[in-house]
Amino acid sequence: MEYPFYNLIIILAFAMLLIAFALAFARIVKGPTVRDRIVAMDLVASITMGFILVYSVVINKAMYFDIVIVISLISFIGTVAISTFLKQN
């Protein structure tokens, strides 16, 4: 069954994720402190997960959910490791 606004919603979702990705990347480049850059990198990982999830909805395949789980675990472990390292300094 085709919904009337399905294509518009998908395009808007990708556009908003792309804008969020650009803003997060700008924070990575411009970030005044290392902590700002770490938070922006975590946000980039979350936005990447959003891209993958929206894409999996578009192609109607659930096999990409595993990739999102792996990315979230790696992102969490990386954020905790970097935070621990910065806490020691």
How many structural domains does the chain have? 1
Can you give the residue range of the structural domain that contains 47? 6-22+33-88
The answer as to whether 80 is a domain residue is yes
Query: Is residue 43 situated within a structural domain?
Result: yes
Q: Are 40 and 28 in contact (CB under 8 A)?
A: yes
Specify the pLDDT at position 31: 84
Q: How far apart are CA 56 and CA 85, in angstroms?
A: 35
Q: Is the pTM of this model over 0.85?
A: yes
What are the tens digits of pLDDT across the range 10-67? Answer: 999 999 999 999 999 999 999 899 889 999 999 999 999 999 999 999 999 989 999 9
Within a domain: residue 14? yes
* 28 part of a folded domain: no
Q: Residue 27 falls within a domain, yes or no?
A: no
Q: Residue 39 class from Cβ within 10 Å (0-12 exposed, 13-18 middle, 19+ buried)? A: middle
In a domain, 15, yes or no: yes
Name every residue whose Cβ is closer than 8 Å to that of residue 27 and which is 6 or more positions away in sequence: 36, 37, 39, 40, 43
